Amino acid sequence: MVTSSAASKKFKTKLGVLTSGGDAQGMNAAVRAVVRTALKMGAQPYAILEGWAGAVEGGNKIKPMKWADVSVVLNRGGTTIGTARCPEFRERDGMRTAAKHLVEQGIDRLIVIGGDGSLSGTEEFKGLWPELLKELVEREELSVETAQKHPALMVAGLVGSIDNDLVGSDMTIGTDSALHRILTAIDELSSTAASHQRTFVVEVMGRRCGYLPLMSAVAGGCDYVFIPEMPPACGWEQKLAERLRRGRKAGRRDSLVLVAEGATDRDGNRITAQRVADALEEEMGEAPRITILGHVQRGGTPSAYDRWMSTALGYAAVHEVLNQTTDDESFILGVRHNRIARLPLVETVKQTRAIAELVANKQYEQAVRARGKSFQQMYDVYRTMAIPPEYRDIKKRNQRIGILHVGGLAPGMNTAARAAVRVGIARGFTMVGIKDSFGGLMDGKVKELHWEDVEGWGFDGGAELGTRRAIPTIDQFYAIGRSIENHGIDALLLIGGFNAYLSAQEMVSERDRFPAFNIPMMCIPTSIDNNLPGSELSIGADSALNNAVWSLDRIKESAAASTRCFVADTMGRHCGYLALMAGIAAGAEFVYLDEDNTTLQDIANDAAMMTASFEEGRRLCLVVRNEEAGGRYNREFMARVFEEESRGRYDVRHSALGHLQQGGEPSPFDRLLATRMVDEAIEDLETTLDEGRIDARFIGLTAKDLEAQDLSVMNKQLDKTKRRPLQQWWMCMKPLIIATSRPEQIIDLPQLPLYDTNGDNKSTE
């Protein structure tokens, strides 16, 4: 139904969207969301082609956009509306010309997607706007009446930058996709390097920000990384060579060194990949191979995250500019803990650029801290993971931590186990691997794990330790307790899903009868379903989401030559996370969630809407369904209803995406999330053991950052019947489907929840 307020303002408000500076995967998703959200809310969007150059040129470079103009762009890299450098816009004459062309089209609201240079230029343009219009009136290039209708320029900025260099935002558009490109290259280089016991020096982007090289080094298991924020001290050549020798002695067959394109030494001299290779050849007598990844990091299909989050940012940006008044300051919309954050444009750009000054002033530790908590944590973790224990000053503890998996397989289990072993050893613990879950514990499949034993685990799918879904029964507890005592296990780290939490809970409830259970326990959320208490994201969910979106892309391609509706089931059981996010990322028209209690009338209404859209020329309709959605109204039933209602206008196919969602290598996000969670978990266990406590806890990513909670609060956060949290943050994303996939109505769309920016700086991936 068209709301009266939306209908009354249909196309009276005009807004422009442009992409500027370097391209980044996900820009198209943001532009698509801007165009369709604006149309859905009754505003007329314009694409300003080729960035600010299009605004200066005017004419057909400022193009009114229709719904279909942004079809089939969601999975494309780059920016289909173009981007270009524009020296003219840096001058007052160019800005005045751009203002004239915008006002002639009735545009005084802009959404700019670009880097800090583009956004700071936009803010300058906004500040000069009244003066520029006054000059245009004086030159008789603009009427007084027209100028009075547009007294101010209202702006919202989105940061499109693979470098992830914006202070105050966890991620920028394109960063996650660039990490995918880099990690794919590193994984492939590792295999050939290991075959020949060879060293590779890899240059990655990161002119002023070390996020990409640092996170790639952690996620890819690299030996050494050069980042702009922490230039190496004098003599780095010898230290680098010694680091690689240590890795080889500890069992590594390959050596990987990452170099940020903006890396320098402490005298400001550039450290290039060639310089590193030359130093290693001189110090080690072997000639490393050099790989410069270059612009492949910017190219290719955007990741699932860069689709759904960019869609959310574009959706929020339309609300921002439509609700602004002439006196409001400009904001950049960023991301904090998966929520939209409004960041003051001028102050945020100032803080971002201040990091370069810290580096120039040799305040390196401050520069690392200025990048945010997670950046600093991962810098410390990288050094822990890369240096073998025999070369570290480690105070040995007489305590053993057992590691086991419980529950369904999830990509990232190996990453978490590897991180646990290396971080635990670095903290002085003896780390013990338990094969095949609790069954293996009862059978004595327990083995001490050393630093070299987990080499390469972090990048493989599956679970080297094995996993089982079974929760131990009461009559198995005696055998489990005896095994814990016999192997001297002082704490347990359970890496798994719902059954891991329930197993720990059962063991805690039987501590009076089984004294061996009076040890600290820590659960790490690892499940593709993303349904675990106390954590907004579980290890494995991002990998499963990327697998699902890849499959849906293939489905859409297969249907391109016909007129078809395709119904696809995702995993997730009673939790609709995978279905909703995959639907947003793949551009589904309809998404069915178990949380929504789908009725027969809902299906009938959607069938009627679908049929009408095919009559108007639609060629493909993608329906994504959570595997438990609708109860008895399952995938086959829905497909039959849609086919019956089609009356031959289109055909219907259906499929379950299946176990491919559990397979494959873990995504960069899951590797980093697993590493961060385990690092926090081992630190928490260390404190618990030092204080003589026997807490049973679980760790999770919350709106406050990583947080450990007592297992006793678990039941208060859960719908036990559905096995999912009572509060699911991602449900707020449901309006994105309506906004971007259904052109039938003009409606007032709700705003997305905003993050309270009074918290700490960057803190997720």
Residues annotated catalytic, as ranges: 163
Q: How far apart are CA 358 and CA 438, in angstroms?
A: 51
Neighbour count for residue 128 (Cβ, 10 Å): 16
Do residues 216 and 204 make contact, with C-beta atoms less than 8 angstroms apart?
yes
Give the DSSP H/E element, type plus range, for residue 607: helix 600-615
Beta bridge pairs of residue 257: 201, 224
Backbone φ and ψ of 290, nearest 5°: -110, 135
Give the three-state DSSP class for 656: strand
Beta bridge pairs of residue 203: 259, 292
Give the DSSP H/E element, type plus range, for residue 516: none
**For 343, how many CA atoms within 13 A lie in the half-sphere containing its CB?**
32
Do residues 433 and 403 make contact, with C-beta atoms less than 8 angstroms apart?
yes
Do residues 706 and 672 make contact, with C-beta atoms less than 8 angstroms apart?
no
Measure CA of the first residue to CA of the last residue in the chain; give whole Å.
Answer: 40
Would you give the distance in Å from CA 377 to the centre of its chain? 18
Q: How far apart are CA 50 and CA 432, in angstroms?
A: 57
C-alpha distances out from residue 418 to 64, 383, 468, 538, Å: 53, 14, 19, 17
Q: Residue 27: which residues within 8 A CB-CB, separation 6 or more? A: 19, 78, 79, 113, 160, 173, 174, 310
Q: What tokens were used for 4?
A: 């009266």
Do residues 205 and 162 make contact, with C-beta atoms less than 8 angstroms apart?
yes
Backbone φ and ψ of 700, nearest 5°: -155, 160
Do residues 431 and 453 make contact, with C-beta atoms less than 8 angstroms apart?
no
Q: How far apart are CA 115 and CA 19, in angstroms?
A: 9
Give the three-state DSSP class for 574: coil
Do residues 319 and 94 make contact, with C-beta atoms less than 8 angstroms apart?
no
Q: How far apart are CA 9 and CA 38, in angstroms?
A: 11
Which pairs with CB-CB distance under 8 Å and at least 24 residues apart come from 475-483?
476/438, 476/442, 477/507, 477/510, 477/513, 477/514, 477/517, 478/514, 479/442, 480/438, 480/441, 480/442, 480/507, 480/514, 480/516, 481/514, 481/515, 481/516, 481/517, 482/516, 483/441, 483/442, 483/444, 483/446
Q: How far apart are CA 100 and CA 58, in angstroms?
A: 9
Q: What sign does the dihedral 675-679-682-688 (CA atoms) show? A: negative
Would you give the distance in Å from CA 333 to the centre of its chain? 16
Beta bridge pairs of residue 592: 625
Q: How far apart are CA 623 and CA 592, in angstroms?
A: 8
Sequence-ordered strand ranges (E) for 366-445: 400-406, 430-434
User: In one letter, which amino acid is 710?
Assistant: D
Q: How far apart are CA 483 and CA 441, in angstroms?
A: 6
Q: How far apart are CA 250 and CA 221, in angstroms?
A: 14
Beta bridge pairs of residue 523: 494, 698
Backbone φ and ψ of 400, nearest 5°: -120, 130
Do residues 180 and 219 make contact, with C-beta atoms less than 8 angstroms apart?
no
C-alpha distances out from residue 709 to 53, 143, 534, Å: 53, 64, 8
